[in-house]
Chain A
Amino acid sequence: MWEHLAQALSMVFEPYTIMVMVLASLFGLFVGSVPGLTATMATALLVPVTFFMPPIPAIAAIVTATAMAIFSGDVPGCLLRIPGTPASAAYTDEAFAMTKKGRAELALGAGLVFSAVGGLFGTVVLIVAAPALADIALRFSSFEYFWLVLLGLTCAVFIASDRPLKGLITLLIGLLVACVGLGNPAGHPRFTLGNAELTGGIGFIPMMIGMFAVSEVLRFAVDERPPAQLVVDKVGNIFAGQWALAKKYWRQVLRGSSLGTLVGALPGAGADIAAWMSYAVSKKFSKEPQKFGTGHVEGIVESGAANNSALAGAWIPALVFGIPGDSITAIVIGVLYMKNMNPGPTLFTTNPQNIYAVFLLFIIANIIMVPLGILCIKAAKQILKVPRRILMPLILVFCIVGTFATNNSVFDVGVMLAAGVIAYLLEENGFPIAPAILGVVLGGMLEENFVSSLIKAEGNLLEFVARPIAATLAVVTVLVWFTPIVIRRLRPGLRTR
């Protein structure tokens, strides 16, 4: 183990990786603090660049950029009352109310410090839980994997989206997209329409860039709201009072981080839902619930920790089973496959140094978040002044070139545009996008395990629940169908997106 850890350390502390992490941090902080650019978009935009990197720096770029972006989404929420990323939306009003009371530094500081704490908590759970789960997963057969994938997809539909029917439909569309091409158990070309480019399936990178970046550019193009105004000129000492908060609210931090990690680990539900749920839980169990919404820091502490811990939590199922915990890890799984680091339990046994390196990256990212976050808060005034009307066309051209770069084909640019327009239209009409991504990523795995289980079972469907773990997973899957009723009571304020 020590030998692998040493290898991991040397991979992570290589100058190239460190440089990538610093650049990715700045990129993540910037993207997170510009409203309309999300952490998922940061990941999608990074993919074409990481395409050209060795595996560890590629993962380093994504881990640091997303951790930073989820924190820095708090900054415009606090200063402009516009969340920088959806993960900060849960407590934007609260943070802005604090700013109006002249306590912006306490709100921003709490966001930063407890983001780092939550992120580290999630990382510890990742380090402990992932190898343990991998040990169990080594014994899984196609029956267990079939149920596990189905459970993941079910979670995405029933827990992560407000409207299960619409979530189910986008999931089916995603699964259908995954069917295109030769990559199926029978090796039969499906839905290729005689097009040679489609025999390899619909490109994953163009689709992600379209769905998460091009759709945001379109959303900006139709946005009629005038730009928001900054209300503060200067932010004071960020650390003042944070220790007192940590002592007063340690239970909230622990609860937020635990809930966040758990929600993050559930497929389909990511940092944004973790933050909404933690905020609701925080208010419910608070000694002073009447203060919530008036500029009270308690909810920010708890849900600020939750959204960053969710980020690490999402990597647990992604690394162990290849089932993404959120949209970001859905993209990450695509990257892992491209880098020949196929997710799954064998990743922990054959190349443990890679896994240790991922753990180390998470620890480092959450630690350097604090100094870099301070810089970001200090520079917030300048960052928030960068006009989006200049950023958005640049992002568009970057999307085009990035998509082209992965395959040197303009056909992929067409796929990107189609995915962007369809994602935009679906979201406008209340169809959640996350299930579609999961469908695309998991479609092949679901079909493969379904078909090989069917063949093994020789048509006897009872075989699907004959093994104890498979049966348990099947029962849990069915139970999840009833969660919308429970969840609806917990988070009344959640929007569709």
Chain B
Amino acid sequence: MKLSDAVFGLLLLALGAAVIAVVSSYPTIAAQRVGPSLFPGLIALGLVIGGLILIVSGWRQRTTVPWLRFEPWVRSPRHVAGVVGVIGSVIFYIVASEKLGFFLTSLLILTVCFRLFGVALGRSVLIATIATFVIHFAFYKLLRVPLPWGVFKNFAW
């Protein structure tokens, strides 16, 4: 996804303005000129100026550079599915890992991603299973990370 400089400029301008709005309510420390708002305030000022420059340069190129342009991959369902799969997997882990447990979540994520990238079904399930056990062993047993058991709580080892 390629955005015109002008669009980025607007986003940065908005970010800078929002930061300035937030820090303006920060307290000032008596007898000192510098409070917690000074440093982020200066950064935000920089973002606003940078944003304005980008808006100008994007506006100048508006005839040659479109506001929003997608790379060819967005017309390929396989690649779109890949991106959605990767981002969706992480969100799925955040939402479901506690309830389902690490085993099911990891197994599902790996199998789905392998399939989306074109690995055969049997191979996907096999590698996903082995990898899930190896990762669980490494992190849960060796590094003692409390990976959630979820539905397998009663079978925890």
Using CB atoms and an 8 Å cutoff, list the residues of chain A in contact with chain B.
Answer: 49, 52, 165, 168-169, 172-173, 175-176, 179, 184-186, 188, 190-191, 214, 217-218, 221-224, 387, 389-390, 392-394, 396-398, 400-401, 404-405, 408, 410, 413-414, 416-417, 421, 425, 428-429, 446-447, 450-451, 454-455, 459
Contact = CB atoms under 8 A, between A and B. Distances in A.
A222 B29 contact: no
B22 A405 contact: no
B19 A416 contact: no
> Taking each of A217, A390, A450, which has the highest tally of chain B beta carbons within 10 Å of its own beta carbon?
A390
Interface string B64-96: 000000011100100100110111011101100
A396 B92 CA distance: 13
B147 to A, nearest CB: 7
> Taking each of A186, A218, A416, A451, which has the highest tally of chain B beta carbons within 10 Å of its own beta carbon?
A186
28 contacts: A169-B47, A169-B50, A172-B43, A172-B50, A176-B40, A176-B44, A176-B47, A179-B39, A185-B36, A186-B36, A214-B90, A218-B86, A221-B82, A387-B119, A390-B114, A392-B117, A394-B110, A397-B110, A398-B135, A400-B93, A400-B109, A401-B106, A401-B147, A410-B98, A413-B90, A428-B2, A451-B38, A451-B39
- Main SS at interface, chain B: helix
> Taking each of B22, B76, B98, B117, which has the highest tally of chain A beta carbons within 10 Å of its own beta carbon?
B117
Contacts of B91: 417
B131 A451 contact: no
How many B residues are at the interface, by size bracket? 35 or more
A414 B127 CA distance: 26
B2 A429 contact: yes
A184 B47 contact: no
B36 to A, nearest CB: 4
A451 B19 contact: no
- Main SS at interface, chain A: helix
B103 to A, nearest CB: 12
Contacts of B76: 224
B94 A414 contact: yes
A389 B110 contact: no
Contacts of B2: 428-429
B21 to A, nearest CB: 12
Nearest to A392: B117
B79 to A, nearest CB: 5
Contact of B135 (A172, A214, A221, A397): A397
A222 B143 contact: no
A351 B36 CA distance: 34
B122 interface: no
B55 interface: no
A179 B43 contact: yes
Contact of A165 (B36, B53, B109, B131): B53
A318 to B, nearest CB: 23
Contact of A190 (B3, B36, B53, B98): B36
A398 B132 CA distance: 10
B29 A186 contact: yes
A190 B26 contact: yes
Contact of A218 (B3, B39, B83, B146): B83
A421 B1 CA distance: 11
A397 B54 CA distance: 37
A389 B118 contact: yes
A191 B21 CA distance: 11
Nearest to A52: B143
B77 to A, nearest CB: 12
Q: Would you list the 5 A-B pairs with minimal beta carbon distance, nearest first?
A: A393-B113, A221-B82, A389-B117, A188-B36, A186-B36
B86 A410 contact: no
Contacts of A176: 15, 19, 40, 43-44, 47
Given A165-B50, A176-B47, A190-B26, A408 B114 contact: no
